[in-house]
Chain A
Amino acid sequence: MRIVIADDAVLVREGVARLLTDAGLEIVGQAADATGLLRLVREHRPDVAIVDIRMPPSHTDEGLVAAGEIREHYPDTAVLVLSQHLEPLYALRLIADSPERVGYLLKERVGRLDDLVDALHRLAAGECVIDRQVVQELLARRRVQDPLAELSPREREILELMAEGRSNQGICQALWLSPKTIETHIRNLFLKLGLDEAPLDNRRVLAVLTLLKAP
């Protein structure tokens, strides 16, 4: 797998590059800002671009903007945005157009090599990845009229995994359940949330997150 990394913190950039190289992934380029990142993507057409959300010059959301450009011009390159913010809104903005080949992870996940490599593989395979903690933050939202209150613990668990961007197969592996059982759960879950007939691809992530975001 060919990867480019963009982060203005050399320490983090080099560290991630070394870890991933050790894990057998190919780092084809490193950049310190969005301009450098876009040049690398144009030259190398990597499988995944790892992008820090805050980069020069303004240190706000340059990473998100660059991610948007990559997805528009180089749809074959997946983008993994690393963020300091446990803020579902950024993740939602990222997947708003199409929840494929795009991921949002808290920055400290880079120290968890297994999680990081897993996310990269899923992204390269066309999936969507949302940080577990971000999903929990979303689901923690309590409402006066709370549709989530009707879900069973198992259904809730499955909803969280779905929201992280996992496929049915991924959920099967995570929960040690048969695909048939999972499908039944998901149908019931959609029924309870009023999302009947939703297609069982990654678009359900968008559906779920959009529902969760709605006041």
Chain B
Amino acid sequence: MGARALTGRPLGARALADSVLLLPVAVVLGLLAAWGALAAGASETAVRIDLVVAWSFAAAAVVALSRPALQRVGVLMAATSAAWLLGYLQFASSPLLWTVGWLLAYLYLALLTQLVLSFPEGRVWSPSARLVVWATYAAALGTQLLVGLYEPGQRNLLLVRPDQAVADGIARAGNAIGLAIVIALDVLIVLRLIRLRGVARRVALPLLVAALLATPLFALRSIAGLQGDFGLRDRLQPFDQVAQILIPIGFFIGLAWSRLRRTRASTLVVELRKGGAETLGDHLARALGDPTLEVAYWLDESGGYVDEAGHPLELPPPGDRAVTKVLAAGEPVAALVHDPALLDEPDLIESVCATVGLVLENEQLAAEVREQLAEVRASRARIVAAADDERRRLERDLHDGAQQRLVGLSLKLRLAQAGTDPATIAALARAQDDVEEALAELREFARGVHPSVLREDGLDAAVEALARRASVPVDVSGSVAMRLPDGVELAAYFFVSEALTNISKHAEATRATVALGWDATTLMITVEDDGVGGSDRSRGSGLAGLADRLAALDGTMVVEPVVPRGTRLVARIPCGS
């Protein structure tokens, strides 16, 4: 069996609905046959047994026909069920019907043999098994034909020369052939059971064992017939027939086992979500009952498959192993390398593949999202860093450009005062005042853009400067006592700055505290006030921007109330070396 991709296909519900029609047909035909047989004086017990056997096979046929993989099995079972009742034609008064019934009386045995030797694929296993099947057909039909040539009987249209002795002789030979066939059948079954592994073994085992159990009674009957004791042979018949019921029962048990596996397959999603040490392959092997199962993952980059450890993997050629490709959104994501017997249950493998497809697609999406997230975070960090650089450059330009020019202007104004009249001197002095005011404003602006004290002396000094300029008394405790990365220092500085600004604007606080804390990996800054509280991000858009700035450094900010009054802002910034 070659590789194939699974596509959407309706499940067996409709097939079941169609094949269920077989049941009333089987019931009606069975009742007709029984009525005719009883009217002709047949044993009530024998008729009951025959009906139960025929109907069992009919029921098994209905179930088998509802499953795409078991169509051939279903047809064979339906045929067996029908053939079982063909012998009843011998109760008919019509010579033609009697003759047909006589000829086909043992057809069910041939059909049963074919069923067993082709289970569950529906194709006979091997050339030797095919030989046995043909032999069974030949024996079942041929013996009756040959016996019919000599068997005395008014309705026997085959009769050439009534001779009971010849007929009995041929019948004994037929029994010998039957015995040989049964032995061959058992050997084939045993060999098959030995050879079968994994999934197929479990599906086929109950039916094959049932067949093995059913054969000894037939063999006994054959031996009786071989020795010419046709009375014993006929007395054993009911037991033999009851034993045949084991076959549909075995079939149902096998089905139930595969149903069990289907249940396991349906809990696969739950198990996979739980995670744990087991690989996807382990889960699938258990769910599908195939310990040899391997999962191959498709890699777009290399355009090939890899195993769970990431080593390149060649998919095996069709043959001993089957390959089922798993698609997600129309693209290959993986392939399952498994026992070909699993292909007999397309529903099962389809549902598992769908699950695997979902899981892998999900993992792939998650990986993509993680990758994109990392990219976005990196770019956000870069944007913030670039903005910081820009601030630094701007502050420097202000100092070295505008401020110097203004100082120079102030000097010029002062120099111009020499040797002029008092009115001009006064005007120039006023202009000088204006220039100094402009310088003071520029200094404030430059400090807001990028505080030089932070750059020169670090966070402790900068926080102290912020505390000094706050409108409420501020206690500063703790210290960092070392230089941190530029971005961390700036974020921490702006955090304290924004927090103190908020306090003076909104909190109606009488005092505030700033605490700096630092361990090997994290800088922690706490700003607390005793104001009206209710500080959230709506209090100032500055805090929201601050949260973004902190997040760019993988930092966090928490706003929490202080009992009985006040608000605490806590920022944590990772800065492990």
User: Are A110 and B469 in contact (CB-based, < 8 A)?
Assistant: no
CB of B194, distance to nearest CB on chain A (Å): 87
Indicate whether A16 reaches chain B with its CB closer than 8 angstroms: yes
**Contact indicator per residue, chain A 112-125, by CB within 8 Å of chain B (1) or not (0):** 11000000000000
CB of A147, distance to nearest CB on chain B (Å): 12
CB of B328, distance to nearest CB on chain A (Å): 57
CB of B486, distance to nearest CB on chain A (Å): 14
Out of B400, B461, B468, B476, name the residue touching A138 (CB < 8 Å).
Answer: B468
Indicate whether A73 reaches chain B with its CB closer than 8 angstroms: no
Given A60-B456, A89-B457, A111-B414, answer yes or no on A215-B407 (Cβ-Cβ < 8 Å): no
Indicate whether B351 reaches chain A with its CB closer than 8 angstroms: no
Kindly report which residue of chain A lies nearest to residue B457, judged by CB atoms: A89
User: Are B511 and A89 in contact (CB-based, < 8 A)?
Assistant: no
- Which residues of the partner chain B approach A18 to less than 8 Å between Cβ atoms? 415
CB of B439, distance to nearest CB on chain A (Å): 5
User: Are A87 and B453 in contact (CB-based, < 8 A)?
Assistant: yes
Indicate whether A9 reaches chain B with its CB closer than 8 angstroms: yes
User: Are A59 and B396 in contact (CB-based, < 8 A)?
Assistant: yes
Given A84-B399, A142-B473, answer yes or no on A110-B468 (Cβ-Cβ < 8 Å): no
Chain B, interface size category, equals: 35 or more
**Contact indicator per residue, chain B 413-436, by CB within 8 Å of chain A (1) or not (0):** 111001000000000000010011
Given A11-B411, A89-B453, A137-B468, answer yes or no on A144-B473 (Cβ-Cβ < 8 Å): yes
Given A12-B404, A141-B468, answer yes or no on A108-B457 (Cβ-Cβ < 8 Å): no
User: Are A111 and B410 in contact (CB-based, < 8 A)?
Assistant: yes
Indicate whether B465 reaches chain A with its CB closer than 8 angstroms: yes
User: Are A215 and B476 in contact (CB-based, < 8 A)?
Assistant: yes
Indicate whether A86 reaches chain B with its CB closer than 8 angstroms: yes
Give Cα A179 to B337, complex, Å.
104
Given A22-B418, A59-B396, A144-B511, answer yes or no on A15-B453 (Cβ-Cβ < 8 Å): no
Indicate whether A26 reaches chain B with its CB closer than 8 angstroms: no
User: Are A141 and B414 in contact (CB-based, < 8 A)?
Assistant: no
Kindly report which residue of chain A lies nearest to residue B413, judged by CB atoms: A111
Out of A12, A59, A89, A213, name the residue touching B407 (CB < 8 Å).
Answer: A12
User: Are B472 and A85 in contact (CB-based, < 8 A)?
Assistant: no
Indicate whether A180 reaches chain B with its CB closer than 8 angstroms: no
* B412, B468, B470, most chain A CB atoms within 10 A: B468
* A137, A138, A142, A146, most chain B CB atoms within 10 A: A142
Out of A11, A59, A140, name the residue touching B468 (CB < 8 Å).
Answer: A140
Indicate whether B377 reaches chain A with its CB closer than 8 angstroms: no
Out of B406, B432, B443, name the residue touching A85 (CB < 8 Å).
Answer: B443
- Which residues of the partner chain B approach A9 to less than 8 Å between Cβ atoms? 400, 404, 407-408
Indicate whether B488 reaches chain A with its CB closer than 8 angstroms: no
CB of B482, distance to nearest CB on chain A (Å): 17
Count of A residues near B, CB < 8 Å?
35
Give Cα A19 to B465, complex, Å.
34
Give Cα A87 to B447, complex, Å.
10
**Contact indicator per residue, chain A 83-96, by CB within 8 Å of chain B (1) or not (0):** 01111111000000
In the complex, which residues 15-39 of chain A have their Cβ closer than 8 Å to any Cβ of chain B?
15-16, 18-19, 22
Interface of B is mostly: helix
**Contact indicator per residue, chain B 363-384, by CB within 8 Å of chain A (1) or not (0):** 0000000000000000000000
Out of B396, B415, B446, name the residue touching A15 (CB < 8 Å).
Answer: B415
Give Cα A59 to B401, complex, Å.
12
- Which residues of the partner chain A approach B439 to less than 8 Å between Cβ atoms? 107-108
- Which residues of the partner chain B approach A16 to less than 8 Å between Cβ atoms? 411
Indicate whether A166 reaches chain B with its CB closer than 8 angstroms: no
Kindly report which residue of chain A lies nearest to residue B455, judged by CB atoms: A60
CB of A156, distance to nearest CB on chain B (Å): 17
User: Are A15 and B408 in contact (CB-based, < 8 A)?
Assistant: yes
Kindly report which residue of chain A lies nearest to residue B514, judged by CB atoms: A215
Given A87-B452, A89-B457, A215-B464, answer yes or no on A110-B411 (Cβ-Cβ < 8 Å): yes
Indicate whether B499 reaches chain A with its CB closer than 8 angstroms: no
Given A111-B410, A111-B436, answer yes or no on A142-B474 (Cβ-Cβ < 8 Å): yes
User: Are B432 and A111 in contact (CB-based, < 8 A)?
Assistant: yes
User: Are B403 and A107 in contact (CB-based, < 8 A)?
Assistant: yes
* A18, A141, A146, most chain B CB atoms within 10 A: A141
CB of B433, distance to nearest CB on chain A (Å): 10
- Which residues of the partner chain A approach B464 to less than 8 Å between Cβ atoms? 89, 213, 215
Indicate whether A76 reaches chain B with its CB closer than 8 angstroms: no
Out of A12, A59, A85, A143, name the residue touching B453 (CB < 8 Å).
Answer: A85
- Which residues of the partner chain A approach B456 to less than 8 Å between Cβ atoms? 60-61, 90
Indicate whether B477 reaches chain A with its CB closer than 8 angstroms: yes
CB of B409, distance to nearest CB on chain A (Å): 9
- Which residues of the partner chain B approach A108 to less than 8 Å between Cβ atoms? 406-407, 410, 435-436, 439-440
Indicate whether B331 reaches chain A with its CB closer than 8 angstroms: no
- Which residues of the partner chain A approach B476 to less than 8 Å between Cβ atoms? 215
- Which residues of the partner chain A approach B418 to less than 8 Å between Cβ atoms? 22
Out of B403, B436, B467, B473, name the residue touching A84 (CB < 8 Å).
Answer: B403
Kindly report which residue of chain B lies nearest to residue A111, judged by CB atoms: B410
CB of B560, distance to nearest CB on chain A (Å): 21
Can you list 30 A-B contacts (CB < 8 A)? Answer: A9-B400, A9-B407, A12-B407, A12-B411, A15-B414, A15-B415, A59-B396, A59-B399, A59-B400, A85-B453, A86-B443, A86-B447, A88-B468, A89-B453, A89-B457, A89-B465, A90-B456, A107-B439, A108-B406, A108-B440, A110-B410, A110-B411, A111-B411, A111-B413, A138-B468, A143-B474, A144-B473, A144-B511, A146-B473, A215-B475
